[in-house]
Amino acid sequence: MHAIETNSLTLSYGDSIIINELDVKIPKGEITVFIGSNGCGKSTLLRSIARLLKPTNGSVLLEGAAIAKLPTKEIARKLAILPQGPVAPEGLTVLQLVKQGRYPYQNWLKQWTLEDEEAVTRALEATGLSEFAERHVDSLSGGQRQRAWIAMTLAQETDVILLDEPTTYLDMTHQIEILDLLFELNERENRTIIMVLHDLNLACRYAHQIVALKDQKIFAQGRPEEVINCSLVQNVFQMNCEVTIDPLFGTPLCIPHGKGRCILKDVGIKHG
């Protein structure tokens, strides 16, 4: 069984169709990354999978069940989403934020339990934030804040985690830190992780499979080494490039064409 499946999914904003009759299957227990140019519908598709956007037509299946028919709390126990650029209320501590992940398990009969406490503790430990539990979220660095939000989704203890551009606005060190964390969660706990990423090389490094979107549909889907090539980059991003092999990981490495200082030319001038 696939973790997520869409059948003839059509998504619109008003009269503007963003995704048109899209069929996609997301493997369980793998990392899937959506790529594509700005405005192609990556984030819209992610929102629909999380039932934050109602389809114009078609359906989304979560572990074989139509997500539109599932109770909200049942969905929240199976699927967590971290939107792009989340903002915590002023004065909220890391611990208070992470505790919000246990909301799907609360009701008027069942209040805070030892199980909830243990889930929050595990989430803080997994993200390396135990010592920051009493710190205000807005006092943290960008990477620490992003880890705090990821900790909240981990406390939800869902098999599926959706993340919309989790590395946006982060420097190189924090980008790798966040992606390494997600990779370890997938490896250690077999979580299904679905992400939108803009950095094609990082997508290739961390994804088990890539889903490239163009013209409201899937342009290509498969293992990075199977689908990422110069033709795809040109068609999806309108960018000429060279695709070689990452010397550290053996995954596709995209080197875009463009203007810039040419070292070889400089060397030629110096030694000519």
CA distance to 15, 161, 259, per residue, from 196 (Å): 25, 12, 27
pLDDT band at 271 (very low <50, low <70, confident <90, very high): very low
Amino acid at 54: K
Q: pLDDT tens, 182-203?
A: 999 999 989 999 999 999 999 9
Structural domains of the chain sorted by starting position, each given as residue range(s) with its CATH number in brackets: 4-70+165-271 (3.40.50.300), 87-158 (no CATH)
Q: Which of 188, 190, 193, 186 is nearest to 161 (CA)?
A: 193
pLDDT computed for residue 266 by the predictor: 58
The mean pLDDT of the chain is: 91
Mean pLDDT for the stretch of residues 201-225: 96
Q: Which helix (H) or strand (E) holds 254?
A: strand 252-256
Q: Helices 114-126 and 142-155, interaxial angle, to 10°?
A: 150
What is the C-alpha separation between 59 and 55, in angstroms, rounded?
7
The CB-side HSE value for 67 (13 A sphere, CA atoms) comes to 26
Which residues are within 8 A (CB) of 39 and not within 5 positions of it... i.e. 6 or more apart?
A: none
pLDDT computed for residue 131 by the predictor: 95
Residue 42 sits at φ, ψ, to 5 deg, of -60, -55
User: Is residue 245 pLDDT above 90, yes or no?
Assistant: yes
Q: pLDDT tens, 107-128?
A: 777 788 899 999 999 999 988 8
Q: pLDDT tens, 17-44?
A: 999 999 999 999 999 999 999 999 999 9
Q: pLDDT tens, 64-76?
A: 999 999 999 899 9
Terminal CA-to-CA distance of the chain, rounded, Å?
Answer: 63
